[in-house]
Amino acid sequence: MNEAVKTSAAVSEGAHVAHPHEQAHEHHHETFVSKYIFSMDHKTIGKQFLITGIVWAIIGGLFSVLFRLQLGYPEESFPILETFFGEWAKGGQIQPEFYYGLVTIHGTVLVFFVLTAGLSGTFANLLIPLQVGARDMASPFLNMLSYWFFFLAGVVMLSSIFVHTGPASGGWTMYPPLSALRQAGDGQKLGADLWLISMSLFIISSLLGGLNYIATILNMRTKGMSMTRLPLPIWAMFFTAVLGVLSFPVLLSGAILLLFDRNLGTSFYLSDIVVNGEILPNEGGSAILYQHLFWFLGHPEVYIILLPAMGMVSEILSVNSRKPIFGYMAMLGSLFAICILAFLVWAHHMFVTGLNPFLGSVFVLLTLLIAVPSAIKVFNWITTIWRGNIRFTPATLFAIGFVSLFISGGLTGIFLGNSTIDIHLHDTMFVVAHFHIVMGVASFFGMFAGVYHWFPKMFGRYLNNTMAYMHFWVTMIGSYLIFWPMHYQGLAGVPRRYLDKRGWVSFNDFADLDKMITVVSIVVFAAQLLFVFNFFYSIFKGRKVRTANPWGANTLEWTTPIRPGHGNWEGDIPEVHRWPYDYGKDGREFIPQTEPVGAQETKSH
């Protein structure tokens, strides 16, 4: 056992933590099943999360194309839909209940399965041990369980799509009483139970993963890797995991109470209900209670999605500008501030629920406060590329796109966080545009940046650049074309989740825009398929990586062999002597973290 592992084992005060590493050292015999399926190697688990996430992203994206067809062409009929979906698309037209099923599953899948599990799961697993200098996660077994609980959650969710009465259709927020009452709609029957079970499994997965990430980052850093020498993605994953561990249990309680209301006759959320002519006995519950429980997770969730993207973007911009990240400590401080404030703003989703106006005003203050650390991050990213020497790898482009989208979407948050304006904009297309830009597309950009940047580490090959650039430009232009004009619909008050606006005098003014958005979203979806193709093609046929450090980066993952085995480093774990952002220092392009500080070196950081 080498020096570094000894140190980290000593820190974590338990020889059992170091145990798996010793095994890994001996290159134990691996079968196909133990290597690729029930693998405990953090890199393989990361890839499993990524590939599962990709599958879900395709499903979620396809669903959005389907409901965009309805939104863009409400008068038209598409016989092909009837071929595939039968009575849900009777006469080639998407039926309302199915439409709401589509939006619900689209939202749930993309928020939780893709941008939480697919993003955090992939990169926390891949990067934490590699960048802190550990042979694996603190508990590889829990890590494996985390993936398989996620997989199980996916199976349950997928099965709900094939239920006769359709999947859950109460929106991704699943507000009761709608989601609690079977009488309220077809999607509220079996589909809603499956949704709740699936989410509960998902929460378990995310807790197992999160605890592991925190334990690994705190206990298993290699020698010399002090907390302030951690690369920013690791800090971001750390705060992400903290957010998840503290807030997901609250959603779990919300979901379980809802299951009770649905199946055991309790009245946590139900009171004074006459549904479909039937008077229910429930009295004394509060429908708003669920919203508090939901958004106590729901808002941190936004940052659970965003922070890993922010961390990776910081790293990628710095590496490819050949320049240190500007204001490492400020970046860290703002991550911390966002993490704290994320817990204190949830009720800004509930300004018009009848919330006490005074309470509302407190949440306005806290919500707009969160714009300050966000602004610091934006200015620091911009200063990072200022006077750099920028290489526009596909990852860099996606990182720049991320910053651009984060600005655009972040600024519209200032509208919505202000309760006065929110009265008008709440639950309109403005909200849809806002969160798709800032949370959806921006995080996807962070994720793409990460995939393009670390693909060589994952598979020892590069993605095809031509397809990558096409993917970027179509997605970048398309995202703005889809979501920028959508704000105008919102300003006009067009409510969300209206599948046909022709019956309205006030909202029927945007038929041309809806058509345009639909066409562009199909094109953008096709570009994502191009990426998926590129991804799988390049795993097997991509250009081979021939140098250990293809981007000239400082962090530890590039000191491993090109295709690292279980245990990551063949010899000892390297020792760290400096922070990870010594780019362009003293006339040298980059100085890896493993290089001792020279006697003549300028002092900094």
Q: Does 391 bind another protein (CB under 8 A)?
A: yes
* DSSP summary character for residue 109: I
**36/473 with CB nearer another protein:** 473
Least Å distance between CB 356 and another protein?
9
Q: Does 528 bind another protein (CB under 8 A)?
A: no
Taking CB under 8 A as the criterion, which residues in 271-300 touch another protein? Answer: 271-277, 279, 283, 285-288
**158/288 with CB nearer another protein:** 288
**241/341 with CB nearer another protein:** 341
Residues ≥6 apart with Cβ < 8 Å to 279: 273
Q: Does 78 bind another protein (CB under 8 A)?
A: yes
Kindly tell me which residue out of 2, 96, 215, 218 binds another protein, with binding defined by CB under 8 A.
96
**129/373 with CB nearer another protein:** 373
Q: Does 470 bind another protein (CB under 8 A)?
A: yes
**123/581 with CB nearer another protein:** 581
How does DSSP assign 532-565, residue by residue?
HHHHHHHHHHSPBP-SS-TT---SGGGGS-SS--
Kindly tell me which residue out of 476, 482, 520, 524 binds another protein, with binding defined by CB under 8 A.
476
Taking CB under 8 A as the criterion, which residues in 411-450 touch another protein? Answer: 411-412, 414-415, 418-421, 423-424, 426-428
How do beta strands 583-585 and 274-275 pair? unpaired
The stretch near another protein (CB under 8 A) out of 191-199, 239-247, 316-324, 451-459 is: 316-324
**256/407 with CB nearer another protein:** 407
In degrees rounded to 5, what are phi and psi of residue 327? 65, 60
Q: Does 530 bind another protein (CB under 8 A)?
A: yes
| CB atoms inside a 10 Å sphere around CB 218 | 14
- CB < 8 Å & 24+ apart, contacts of 528-534: 528/57, 528/58, 528/61, 528/471, 528/475, 529/58, 530/467, 530/470, 530/471, 531/448, 531/467, 531/468, 531/471, 532/54, 532/58, 533/467, 534/463, 534/464, 534/467, 534/468, 534/471
Kindly tell me which residue out of 36, 141, 473, 536 binds another protein, with binding defined by CB under 8 A.
473
Number of residues that bind another protein (CB under 8 A): 135
Kindly tell me which residue out of 218, 259, 378, 562 binds another protein, with binding defined by CB under 8 A.
378
Taking CB under 8 A as the criterion, which residues in 318-357 touch another protein? Answer: 321-330, 352-354, 357
* DSSP summary character for residue 413: H
Cβ proximity of 184 and 270 under 8 Å? no
Cβ proximity of 186 and 166 under 8 Å? yes
Taking CB under 8 A as the criterion, which residues in 35-54 touch another protein? Answer: none
Kindly tell me which residue out of 466, 570, 572, 598 binds another protein, with binding defined by CB under 8 A.
466
Q: Does 106 bind another protein (CB under 8 A)?
A: no
Least Å distance between CB 215 and another protein?
30
What Rg do the C-alpha atoms of the chain give, in angstroms?
24
**152/289 with CB nearer another protein:** 289
Taking CB under 8 A as the criterion, which residues in 539-558 touch another protein? Answer: 543
Least Å distance between CB 350 and another protein?
8
Q: Does 459 bind another protein (CB under 8 A)?
A: no
Q: Does 571 bind another protein (CB under 8 A)?
A: no
Kindly tell me which residue out of 91, 484, 547, 561 binds another protein, with binding defined by CB under 8 A.
484
Taking CB under 8 A as the criterion, which residues in 207-246 touch another protein? Answer: none
Instruction: Give ∠ CA 560-565-566 in degrees, rounded to 5.
Output: 110
Kindly tell me which residue out of 58, 163, 256, 375 binds another protein, with binding defined by CB under 8 A.
375
Q: Does 387 bind another protein (CB under 8 A)?
A: yes
Q: Does 141 bind another protein (CB under 8 A)?
A: no
Rounded Cα gap, residues 483 and 516, in angstroms: 11
Taking CB under 8 A as the criterion, which residues in 578-597 touch another protein? Answer: 581, 583-587
Cβ proximity of 121 and 113 under 8 Å? no
**180/204 with CB nearer another protein:** 180
- Give residue for tokens 């990776």: 312
The stretch near another protein (CB under 8 A) out of 31-39, 75-83, 146-154, 244-252 is: 75-83
β strands within 429-573, DSSP E = none
Cβ proximity of 455 and 471 under 8 Å? no
Nearest residue to 120 via CA among 443, 598, 462, 471? 443
Kindly tell me which residue out of 13, 31, 503, 603 binds another protein, with binding defined by CB under 8 A.
503
In degrees rounded to 5, what are phi and psi of residue 584? 70, 20
Cβ proximity of 102 and 69 under 8 Å? no
Taking CB under 8 A as the criterion, which residues in 110-129 touch another protein? Answer: none
Q: Does 519 bind another protein (CB under 8 A)?
A: no
Least Å distance between CB 178 and another protein?
4
- Report helix, strand or coil for 141: helix
Q: Does 59 bind another protein (CB under 8 A)?
A: no
Instruction: Give ∠ CA 353-429-298 in degrees, rounded to 5.
Output: 50
Rounded Cα gap, residues 146 and 339, in angstroms: 23
Cβ proximity of 123 and 304 under 8 Å? no
Q: Does 488 bind another protein (CB under 8 A)?
A: yes
**248/269 with CB nearer another protein:** 269
Taking CB under 8 A as the criterion, which residues in 158-177 touch another protein? Answer: 169-171, 175-177
Cis peptide before 233 (omega within 30 of 0): no
